[in-house]
A and B are shown apart, each in its own frame.
Chain A
Amino acid sequence: MREPGKAASDDDRPLIERVRKGDQDALRTLYERYFDRIYNYVYARLGRAEDAEDLAIDTMTKSLTRLDLFHDQGGAFSSWVYRIAHNATIDHYRRHGKVALVSLERAPVPESADPSELAVEQLSNEDLHAAIRDLTDEQQQVLILRFFQDLTAAQAAAVMGKTVGAVQALQHRALGSLERALQGRAAN
């Protein structure tokens, strides 16, 4: 099961101070706290275990070696780590190309498809992951942060550099796009 809400732990601050003083145990604790989450985030974005592994390691290396760049002025360390992971994902897309970047907000839905007939409980995890990867970059990000990473709207807003209201609106549009993507897949 998921571990809810731990991603933006206030406990990070004492650990970060200890890491800055060279404490290897604190370094290991921070690493253990974030590696799985970042791996999961990147895997959900890319869909490939090999790439997820490399990008998660790259993200953790950058986060933990450049703590001097993290200014603890109210911003959570977790937001900083997720932003590094997000940037690494975008760099990966630039280097390797992204399979689908078409917004589905206006995607044609098959005429026979009735939204109320979509049995979401019967959807496989694979279908959901694949459909999410059909969404726009921001839509993917908001769904993964909110539902796979269990971040609150405020935490997701901090990661994405948006207001809470903007994140909530984006989340609503993303769910609509996801529903259309799933209907399209079911019809095919």
Chain B
Amino acid sequence: MTPEVERMERLAERLRTVEPFIPPPGAKIRGWNLVLAAVEQSTAARVRVHPVRRLVIGAAAAAVLLLAGAGAASADSLPDSPLYPLKGVLENARGVLAFSATDRLAYHLDLARIRLTEAETMIARHRVDLAGASLKALDDQLSSAALVVQSERHADPAAAARLQERLRQAVTTDDQQLADLQGQARTPAAASAIVEARARAADALKLTQEPSASPTASPGGRPSPSRSNGQASPTSTP
């Protein structure tokens, strides 16, 4: 082997040991939300509609144009936006269409991720009150997801195990992001809200591990998050 080839080999070996760049959990979650939304939009656009129905749909579309415009504008709205309540209406409508346990779980986990992103933004804007509400709403969604797993356990234990694993992964990812957020919190109130949120998320996961546990009380005796708190998020649990 010539000295030049040896040098190239050593350099190649050194390159192989370079640690990869790891994306922040928030980036991955944001990306997934955007990909999911784009795929759903793309699928809807490809659905072929009968010509007669097109007229009816066209008329209906014209009638709801203003609402749709407002709805689209609200889709990315944040808790400090006047359009935020409309976002909740649209989210609830989406929840009505989640029939299977898999769809319901995906629905709650998606909303949990959205609430987490909102909380992150509110903390960045020093709106600790709204961040706290978003974090409570995040935990409400995780608790609802846990209930989906629990109810599925009676109907189909194998499917429930798969759902539980998805929930566990989601809670783990959320907890990592909350830990990052906790490190960035500048006020004790914000840090405290995040600590509580992490504890409630862990409780939600425990709920799925104990089939006999009451859905109204967490294993540790801590009251489960109120799922009727309409102010915590734009979405009330369906």
Known contacts: A60-B31, A65-B42, A147-B18. The answer to whether A115 contacts B7 by CB under 8 A is: yes
Residues of B within 8 A of A11 (CB): none
Partner pick for A61 among B13, B15, B18, B34, CB 8 A cutoff = B34
Q: Which of B1-26 contact A (CB under 8 A)?
A: 3-4, 7-8, 10-16, 18-24
Residues of A within 8 A of B4 (CB): 115
A36 B22 Cβ-Cβ under 8 A: yes
For A115, the closest partner residue in chain B by CB is B7
A172 B8 Cβ-Cβ under 8 A: yes
For A39, the closest partner residue in chain B by CB is B23
Interface status of A35 (Cβ within 8 A of chain B)? yes
Partner pick for A176 among B8, B15, B19, B27, CB 8 A cutoff = B8
- A150 and B31 alpha carbons, distance in the complex (Å): 24
B21 A52 Cβ-Cβ under 8 A: yes
Q: Which interface class (under 10, 10 to 19, 20 to 34, 35 or more) fits A?
A: 35 or more
Q: Which interface class (under 10, 10 to 19, 20 to 34, 35 or more) fits B?
A: 20 to 34
- A176 and B13 alpha carbons, distance in the complex (Å): 14
For A53, the closest partner residue in chain B by CB is B27
Interface status of B38 (Cβ within 8 A of chain A)? yes
B22 A61 Cβ-Cβ under 8 A: no
Residues of B within 8 A of A43 (CB): 21
B12 A28 Cβ-Cβ under 8 A: no
B20 A36 Cβ-Cβ under 8 A: yes
Interface status of B35 (Cβ within 8 A of chain A)? yes
Residues of B within 8 A of A2 (CB): 16, 20
A35 B31 Cβ-Cβ under 8 A: yes
Q: Which of A2-45 contact B (CB under 8 A)?
A: 2, 22, 24-25, 27-28, 31, 35-36, 39-40, 43-44
